[in-house]
Structure 1
Amino acid sequence: MQAFVTDHRCDVAVLHLKGELDAETAEKLRITLAELLERQVPRIVVDLTDLKFCDSIGLSAFITSKQVITARGGWLSFAGSTPFLTRLLETVGLSRYFAIFPEVEDAIAASQL
């Protein structure tokens, strides 16, 4: 899995993921999220457009990060989910826990409301 961050506005980071997120690559996600959690009020959009697979280890990294982010008054949302990931999030009940937007721009726009 590849992960890189771009900043949109001064307060929203977009975490772009590409490839497969599983037990072997989850540590890279945790490290990247830990860096983003150092921000005073983390506001993160996770771009899932190029993420082809995610297992329970990857999902747990998102859940743990969201708990920390929410406690700090920030938020974490998903954008560009593939049909596979959308089904996965719905099946495990996380579609009620995370905001999921069709596009990164939609998630950023929603943060301004």
Structure 2
Amino acid sequence: MGVDVLEMSRHQHGELVVVSLAGELDVDNVSRVRQCLDEAVRAHGPRLVVDLSGLTFIDTTGLGVLVRQLAALRDRDGTMALVVPDGLVLRRLRRTNLAPLFPIYDTLSQALA
């Protein structure tokens, strides 16, 4: 922990913008993630897919940035789906009762279909 090992990338797919996160999402890098999500929405519009399939860890600040982004997009009639294969990140979303807030897909291709 404490080492910033998060990778972020984004690309457009039709009217969706995909932000992919890989590594650990925690208090050390959550502000970078917030900025990346905000920039993606500003540049490409309010239909967001966040691919968390490369995440190995997420803490409560990371979950919080996802929920805040979802609320901001809903205010703009936007959407936000998550790609979360089975594993630690999905279990954490379920355990915190946040999973029902989001459309959740196993794979990016399902989310884009």
Distance 2:64 2:83 in 1: 18
2:54 to 25, 50, 53: 50
Of 7, 13, 20 in structure 2, the residue corresponding to residue 8 of structure 1 is 13
1:18-57 alignment, distance < 5 Å: 18-39=22-43, 41-57=45-61
Q: d(CA) in 2 for partners of 1:84 and 1:63? A: 18
- Superposition pairs for residues 68-87 of structure 1, below 5 Å? 68-87=72-91
Task: Please report how far the alpha carbon of residue 80 of structure 1 lies from its aligned counterpart in structure 2 after TM superposition.
Answer: 3.5
- Structure 2, unaligned runs of 5 or more: 1-5
Counterpart residue type for residue 95 of structure 2: T
RMSD: 1.3
CA deviation string 1:5-64 (max 9, x = no partner): 01111x101111011000001011011011123257411111111110000001111111
State the secondary structure of the residue aligned to 2:69. helix
Write the deviation string for residues 84-111 of structure 1: whole angstroms up to 9, x where unpaired. Answer: 01110100001111111011111122xx
Give runs of ≥4 in structure 1 deviating > 3 Å: none
8 Å CA contact 2:16, 2:44 repeated in 1: no
Amino acid in the other structure paired with 2:9: F
Q: Percent identity?
A: 28
Q: Is the deviation greater in 37-46 or in 54-63? A: 37-46
What TM-score do you get using the length of structure 1 for normalisation? Answer: 0.89
Matched residue of 2:77: which SS? coil
Match of 1:90 among 79, 94, 104: 94
